[in-house]
Amino acid sequence: MTELLQRAFLSDAAGGKPSNSASPALMHLGFWDRLTGAAQLLAACCCLLLFFEYVSRPFFPIDSRARAVIFVLLAASALLMIAGALQSERRARRESVLREDEKRASLAARSANLGLWVWDRPNGVLWATPAYRALLDLPEGAPLTMDAMMAHIHAEDVAGLRTAMNSATLGQKTVEYEYRYLRPGAGLRWFRIRASGTLDQDGGGKLSGLVMDITEQRKIEAEVESQRRSLTHLSRVGMLGQLGGALAHELKQPLTAILSNAQALQRILERGGADMVEVRAVIRDIIQDDSRAADVIRHLRSLLKKDEFRGEALDLNEVVSQTLKLVRNDLMVKRIAVAIKLHSTRLPVTADTVQLQQLLLNLIFNAVEAMAESSARGGTLSLTTGIGGEGLAHIAVADTGPGVKAEILAKLFEPFVSTKMNGLGLGLSISRAIAESHQGKIWAENNATHGATFHIAIPLAKETA
């Protein structure tokens, strides 16, 4: 295929009209051309000789043996001509097949917006198809050199591209690299280059390959990513409704302490003869509780903010207990007992706190709803963290509800699958997206006795300390 593409590129480079001189693959067929030419010349000479012999026979009769030799030569040249004609016929057929292949390959390359190139590194020659030139959008007539091309590549990608090209040359392998190209007319474009290197006998390297414009593809990917983010964010904002009570509770606690401290201080000062040590202690406590309230608000803001994925070094145990704190009140009101079993040591992961909390909250809310549906007498929510083998941290969220129906279980994490009356069926698909963005997995199973368990596994981070 590469050979074909190369040929296609060469024919493309010649303006779509292949010629023998430009097509090394056809070069060896010239021998038959020369042979046929020689045979024709020989036959013509023989015919001329026979004609002169016939005209001059009354005056200069020649030896019948010499005439026989001429006839033999004539016959031989005729045979050679026939052979040559047959050969050229074969050649024409092969050429037409090749040309057809080349045409197809170049059509494919053009329609896929592929630019093909060959870079003769030691000689500094860069061959490229017109499609490639069009991608680069270099000014007309400007010489195509590696330096001219490199000058337009995004500064952050130059070093990477050079490294990729070098490793292709030295390793004689195929490498791929994506880089940004500043096209003078059309702004920033994303290109993907695929290069394969070969080494000459004299040690010089030759690179060839193709380049494609993946800007549109990138745009679509970015669009999909941003929509996913919007959806994640929206579901989080929706979750805030459910969390409202818990957050209000978290905020009221420090506010209560602040108010009571301040009013106590007011009374102490009004009474006169205040103990300054006590006064200082009260003020210190007010400041402390104020920052506690600020933390709650910061957390709330982080839940409301539409952030990109931010991986931080976290302890999974910590994330689980923090999340539980948010819903503790809600669980108590609904008379749901909590059984929490955290792994005895830290579970270091690289994760986005907000997203991980969202994922856990989603599972907890689902569990709570499942239990509320099945009985009015509450139930037990079990949260367990541990190591799930192969360097994975594992969280299990189990409930004592009615469990998940077998036919739903298989497609539980697909979008728009819901068992709730007013459910959109997005919660778990968002949960899966979050797990996957952490290089993790999420799955569910029904418990042996009653209820269901949802599992999350995400890779453990290697702790440097």
Q: How far is the CB of 332 from other proteins (least distance, A)?
A: 6
Q: Does 299 bind other proteins (CB under 8 A)?
A: no
Q: What is the rounded CA–CA span in Å between residue 144 and residue 135?
A: 12
Instruction: Write out the DSSP string of 309-367.
Output: P--EEEEHHHHHHHHHHHHHHHHHHTTEEEEEE--SS--EEEE-HHHHHHHHHHHHHHH
Q: How far is CA 417 from the centre of its chain?
A: 28
* DSSP one-letter code for 153: B
Q: Does 50 bind other proteins (CB under 8 A)?
A: no
Stretch that binds other proteins, among 20-28, 172-180, 283-291, 453-461 (CB under 8 A): 283-291
Identity of the amino acid at 33: D
Nearest residue (CB) to other proteins, 144 versus 255: 255
Q: Strands 205-213 and 187-199: what pairing?
A: antiparallel
Q: What is the rounded CA–CA span in Å between residue 393 and residue 441?
A: 11
Q: How far is the CB of 365 from other proteins (least distance, A)?
A: 17
**Measured CA angle at 131 (ends 128, 136), to 5 deg:** 75
Size of site (CB under 8 A) for other proteins: 28
Q: Does 322 bind other proteins (CB under 8 A)?
A: no
Region 67-126 residues binding other proteins, contact defined as CB under 8 A? none
Q: How far is the CB of 286 from other proteins (least distance, A)?
A: 9
* DSSP one-letter code for 141: T
Q: Does 329 bind other proteins (CB under 8 A)?
A: yes
Q: How far is the CB of 255 from other proteins (least distance, A)?
A: 4
Q: What is the crossing angle of helices 427-437 and 353-374, to 10°?
A: 150
Q: How far is the CB of 394 from other proteins (least distance, A)?
A: 26
Binding characters for other proteins, 202-241, by CB under 8 A (x = yes): ----------------------------------------
Stretch that binds other proteins, among 168-176, 244-252, 376-384, 437-445 (CB under 8 A): 244-252
Q: Does 297 bind other proteins (CB under 8 A)?
A: no
Choose which of 173, 219, 252, 280 interacts with other proteins (CB under 8 A): 252
Choose which of 53, 157, 285, 445 interacts with other proteins (CB under 8 A): 285
Choose which of 41, 75, 259, 297 interacts with other proteins (CB under 8 A): 259
DSSP-based helix, strand, coil % in the chain, nearest 5? 55, 20, 25
Nearest residue (CB) to other proteins, 79 versus 281: 281
Q: What's the half-sphere exposure (Cβ side, CA atoms, 13 Å) at 447?
A: 17
Q: What is the rounded CA–CA span in Å between residue 101 and residue 99?
A: 5
Nearest residue (CB) to other proteins, 2 versus 256: 256
**CB of 427 closer than 8 Å to CB of 379:** no
Region 336-395 residues binding other proteins, contact defined as CB under 8 A? none
Of 232, 35, 197, 206, the closest CA to residue 119 belongs to: 206
Stretch that binds other proteins, among 39-47, 188-196, 251-259, 387-395 (CB under 8 A): 251-259
Stretch that binds other proteins, among 136-144, 280-288, 362-370, 385-393 (CB under 8 A): 280-288
Q: Strands 452-459 and 392-398: what pairing?
A: antiparallel
Nearest residue (CB) to other proteins, 70 versus 282: 282
Q: How far is the CB of 334 from other proteins (least distance, A)?
A: 11
SS3 160: helix
Positions that interact with other proteins (CB under 8 A): 245, 248-249, 252-261, 263-265, 267-268, 271, 282, 285, 288-289, 292, 328-329, 332-333
